[in-house]
Chain A
């Protein structure tokens, strides 16, 4: 196992290097004159020159790259062109907001996805099964930004049930400590704020969690069906165990490994979906941060935002891989793919 972990970590090195080259290119390899593209057409030559010097665009490409990597390794993610703040500091609350949203979305996705999958497998080919799988199919086919918009329109505008923007009622007095608002509210014992935070989470989390939910449901169903055909399930039934126990204890336990992998992979993909969801719900997370940066031509922020999300994505995938190998000893450690 340890040698597997080491090998997996070594495999990560070329990936991280490749990633850094790609994010480096976002600013430094813009075709034509990067400085001009970044400041826009109306800029004066002096402004262009300033940007060029700021970002080191006047140096040879390989020196630019090594400076970039050196800065990253020292925790320097550059400076926002708009706020003139260090991105590594500025991004923290955004990161917390995205994490909070992603975790809640994933909880929703796992809870509903797994249970839908189980029930569908249990009642295979029943109307319930068909309906659930149809919902799952529609779930994977729906663009999440459209789902988000429809939610806003229906639940926030038409029914006026749930808040559709932001993390908290802006009129509420609230001190952010950890920037995980739900945790902050509990720490401060502010139950009214806690309730408001949860209400604000519902719509974006459902939008973000729909695709993973659908995928988890399908995966759970097929995995459950496979296990249900095995001998030990027949034995469990033969010894007179109730159907509920057979399904939820014996089958689920063995069907869960592939589901676990999907859950991990989807958690990573949520980070991509976050850009769209956060844009719609004005959720002040990294996705929204990147989106605003795109519109403001704030290239260093685009670059570092993407780098951070991609790094988290890679780490989550690594953890999933290791967990997978740990949970299922049948996996051959690292023999090919």
Chain B
């Protein structure tokens, strides 16, 4: 069928045993095996995936609109309203479900932002050292000089209350966490033999940085990113609760809790469900993050 001339095989001779019968060892398989064996990682990822599914499938899970008001004010949980209704007669279940979207978006964008900016700064600081390191490290010090939620409050107070400003604030306050982590990772990787070898071969800085150092620094960043996601969700809810994040009628969990405060006696469910949602999401990311850390931390490996 093919008219091509087959090239003369100058490759290695066939291995004596066919590869299928061998146990294929790959880092990825190692990881999957270790992951599945790690109870909290599995539980965490199940929780995280469930919330992800809830966020994606929100319109299919509930038949209500999250802004739709009704005459049924502050109704207790029932068949019609699984989580009850709030002070405007809105279905709480629907609002909690749609709230998942907001929280996950905020977590995703804020943490991606802090990872990108933080890693880049940390990479530069660790790799080049000198005045760049001093300057960047001082910036991290300054950002860490505030209890994080206070810094977020300061930023939002300055820029104005909105979900996007809250997101920006959360991204900023988490930058130093990733920056410092990356910097210390780079410092230790930089002195490894393979980097010296790359340098001896005459490789350019940029290639060493992005092809050799960066890939070897990702793991702790990923672990921290998972844990940071949890923090971001809490921070978003906290800002929302203080009235600095999402504004009504957006179904953000923290904002819902702030509204629910007045009805603590009349309708405790308006307070219980959004809070449980925050706590569960955070728990999921924490479990997953802890699990990933155990798996990736070489000291914990058997």
7 A-B interface contacts by CB (under 8 A):
A141-B230, A141-B282, A272-B149, A276-B149, A291-B242, A295-B243, A302-B154
A136 to B151, CA, bound (A): 26
Give the Cβ gap from B248 to chain A, nearest Cβ, in Å: 15
The yes or no answer to A242 lying at the interface (CB within 8 A) is no
Known contacts A14-B138, A153-B271, A276-B242; 19 additional CB pairs below 8 A are: A14-B141, A16-B145, A19-B145, A22-B146, A31-B158, A138-B283, A141-B279, A141-B282, A141-B286, A143-B254, A146-B237, A153-B268, A269-B147, A291-B242, A295-B243, A302-B153, A306-B150, A313-B145, A337-B137
List the B side residues contacting A275 at CB < 8 Å: 149-150, 153, 242
A309 to B152, CA, bound (A): 13
Stretch at the interface among B56-64, B110-118, B208-216, B257-265: B257-265
A267 to B301, CA, bound (A): 34
Q: Does more than half of chain B's interface fall in helix, strand or loop, or is it mixed?
A: helix
The yes or no answer to B102 lying at the interface (CB within 8 A) is no
List the B side residues contacting A317 at CB < 8 Å: 145
Say whether B142 contacts A19, CB under 8 Å: yes
Q: What is the interface residue range for chain B against chain A?
A: 35 or more
Say whether A309 contacts B158, CB under 8 Å: no
List the A side residues contacting B286 at CB < 8 Å: 137, 140-141
Q: Does more than half of chain A's interface fall in helix, strand or loop, or is it mixed?
A: helix
List the A side residues contacting B241 at CB < 8 Å: 143, 145, 276, 279
User: Interface of A with B (CB < 8 Å)?
Assistant: 11, 14-16, 18-19, 22-23, 25-26, 29-31, 37, 137-138, 140-143, 145-146, 149-150, 152-153, 157, 268-269, 271-273, 275-276, 279-280, 290-291, 294-295, 299, 302, 306, 309-310, 313-314, 317, 337
List the A side residues contacting B154 at CB < 8 Å: 22-23, 25-26, 302, 306
Contact of A26 among B157, B271, B287 (CB under 8 A): B157
Give the Cβ gap from A144 to chain B, nearest Cβ, in Å: 8
A153 to B262, CA, bound (A): 11
List the A side residues contacting B123 at CB < 8 Å: none
Contact of A276 among B238, B272, B287 (CB under 8 A): B238
> A22 with B265: in contact, given A138-B283, A302-B157 (CB under 8 Å)?
no
List the A side residues contacting B163 at CB < 8 Å: none
A29 to B265, CA, bound (A): 42
A207 to B160, CA, bound (A): 29
The yes or no answer to B92 lying at the interface (CB within 8 A) is no
Q: Mark B220-256, 1 if CB is under 8 A from A, else 0.
A: 0000000000100010011001111000000000100
List the B side residues contacting A145 at CB < 8 Å: 237-238, 241, 254, 257
Give the Cβ gap from B271 to chain A, nearest Cβ, in Å: 5
The yes or no answer to B278 lying at the interface (CB within 8 A) is yes
Q: Count chain A CB atoms within 10 A of each CB in B138, B154, B159, B244 and give the residue with the most.
A: B154
List the A side residues contacting B282 at CB < 8 Å: 141-143
The yes or no answer to B275 lying at the interface (CB within 8 A) is yes
Say whether B153 contacts A290, CB under 8 Å: yes
Contact of B142 among A15, A153, A280, A337 (CB under 8 A): A15
List the A side residues contacting B138 at CB < 8 Å: 14-15, 18
A302 to B184, CA, bound (A): 35
